[in-house]
Amino acid sequence: MGLLDRISARKSESEAAVFPPPADSDPLFSTKALRKFLGCLTSRELPVLIDLGPVVGSNIAYFGEQLGCKIFVVDLFADLERFAREGRVEQFADFIDKKFTQDSGSVDGILCWDFIDYLDKVTAQRLSTQLTRVLRPEGALLGFFSSAIQHGHSFYNKFIVSDEGVNLRARAYPALRGRQSVLLNRDIIKLFEGLRVSDSFLLKNNQREILFRKPA
């Protein structure tokens, strides 16, 4: 059963999977890669999804009720914020090593959002190693990467899935630690060297969306 079939079959049952009402303050942008990512997930009967971002109720309802995913909400942003607040960001890489208790090759999809942008290279490498480990062969990982340094106040983004994965709404909230650097495409590819790039998009808002697949 394909993505559209699954959505239409479940849509009528799902009252909770309503998307948040539009808020003018939350920029809306068209995502090219999310739909493809969801297509990878829904080719599985009971897909297992890891969401590295903060909990968003409507996303959970959408992934869980309409797509039938089992979701692990990890919220690494909250963990990074805690480490920054306690002044021990240098220990975050060790924390990442122990964070993912899932079996190797047990996860169908990982929503990385733009978390890598907030890490130094060493920690980013340790995270990518863990994510690559838990992803099953042919599993998918979606990452966003900025093309510009963050100026002014530091912030994280909550990405809210809208219009069934066609659009995303980015809701900013304050952060102690800003983006660390702008990664070049070749650095990103090297970071996830156990995966292959399936699709890569540069959006109008200068955000890069990269969809990785784990080779079979």
Partner 1 sequence: MERDIVNIGKSVVIKGELNGSEDLTIEGHVEGTIQLRDHVLTIGPNGKIKAQVFAKAVIVLGEVHGNVTASEKVDIRDNGSVEGDIVSPRIAIAEGAHFKGSVDMQRKGAAPQQQAKPTVQPPAGVTAVPPPPVPAAAGQRVGA
82 lines the binding site for partner 1 (CB under 8 A): no
Q: How many CB atoms lie within 10 A of CB 135?
A: 26
Whole-number minimum distance, CB 147 to partner 1, in Å?
A: 29
Runs of H (alpha helix) within 24-157: 33-42, 57-61, 76-85, 92-99, 121-134
In the bound state with partner 1, the residue whose beta carbon lies nearer, of 23 and 166, is: 23
Secondary structure element (H or E) that encloses residue 157, with its range: strand 155-162
Tokens, residue 206: 């200068």
64 lines the binding site for partner 1 (CB under 8 A): yes
Tokens, residue 41: 């997930």
Q: If you search the block for the tokens 């090297």, which residue do you land on?
A: 190
Using CB under 8 A, which of the segments 65-73, 174-182, 183-191, 194-202 binds partner 1? 65-73
22 lines the binding site for partner 1 (CB under 8 A): no
> Restricting to residues 90-109, which ones interact with partner 1 according to CB under 8 A?
95, 98-102
Query: Rounded to an integer, what distance in angstroms lies between the CA atom of residue 102 and that of residue 105?
Result: 8
Q: Which residues make up the interface to partner 1 (CB under 8 A)? A: 13, 15-16, 20, 55-57, 60-61, 64-65, 68, 70-75, 78-79, 95, 98-102
